[in-house]
Copies of this chain bind each other. A is one copy, B any other.
Amino acid sequence: MSGWITVAGLGPGDDALITPQVQAALERATDIVGYFPYVARIPPRDGLILHGSDNRAELDRAAHALRMAAGGRRVVIVSSGDPGVFAMASALFEAVENGPPAWLDLDIRVLPGITAMLAAAARLGAPLGHDFCAINLSDNLKPWSVIEHRLRMAARGDFAMAFYNPRSRSRPQQFGQALDILRAECGGARLIAFARDVCKPDERLLTTTLAEATAEMADMRTVVIVGNAQTRRLGRFIYTPRSA
């Protein structure tokens, strides 16, 4: 038995952002586990089994991967972006905590990747160049009131902010409420940027102000970045000075 399990970040979409470390793990794997569109990014080869699964099946997927590793398979769970940022690494450890004690003795590794907010920031300039927060705006796993509180604390600390999962069809109103909170806390002149499908062929970047921003500018494929009080436009870029 020499099974292992690795959670690997594929970055936001461009294969040129996949680290050699992740590439090497993919090449040694017997099994790839993950959400369908991420598994679809892995080229098939002899001896490699691809296990695509649905979104929101994170715990089942992690347990399946752990059972295979315990049985001697070499398993890579693929994640978009960085697996440690609103992705599969925490789900894997939740599954380990809830599973048989022997799972803790498995060879478990997390391999970082380029997370969407940092890819978006690079494409926009340097909006996260000073102190910042990352907030998941989905209330699937936490109450919306916690999200509202975190938005207020982040605004009062004058952090730049990056939002993951800003808006979905099942909760179209909440992102508008988040914008209302931010306008009240930060004022209408504060810069906000929407990066959709970042580093993919259909990438779309939009920078505007909180006063002009509307909820429809975001969907689940968008990362949203809000500047701090010093964040400014500079030609086609936005950036936050280091002294902010």
Give me the interface of A with B, judged by CB distance under 8 Å: 11, 14-21, 24, 58, 82-87, 89-94, 96-97, 104, 108, 110-115, 118-119, 121-123, 125-136, 141-142, 146, 149-150, 152-154, 156-159, 232, 234-235, 237, 239-244
Contacts and interface: CB of A to CB of B under 8 A. Distances in A.
B240 A90 contact: yes
Given A82-B122, A89-B129, 6 more contacts: A11-B19, A18-B20, A83-B122, A84-B121, A94-B241, A113-B114
B24 A20 contact: no
A167 to B, nearest CB: 17
B129 A84 contact: yes
User: What secondary structure prevails in chain A residues at the interface with B?
Assistant: mixed
Given A17-B112, A18-B19, A112-B122, A133 B130 contact: no
Nearest to A82: B118
A58 to B, nearest CB: 8
Copies of this chain held together in the complex:
2
A234 B96 contact: yes
Given A20-B16, A234-B96, A118 B154 contact: no
Given A153-B153, A154-B157, A97 B133 contact: no
Given A19-B17, A131-B133, A118 B237 contact: no
Contacts of A87: 129
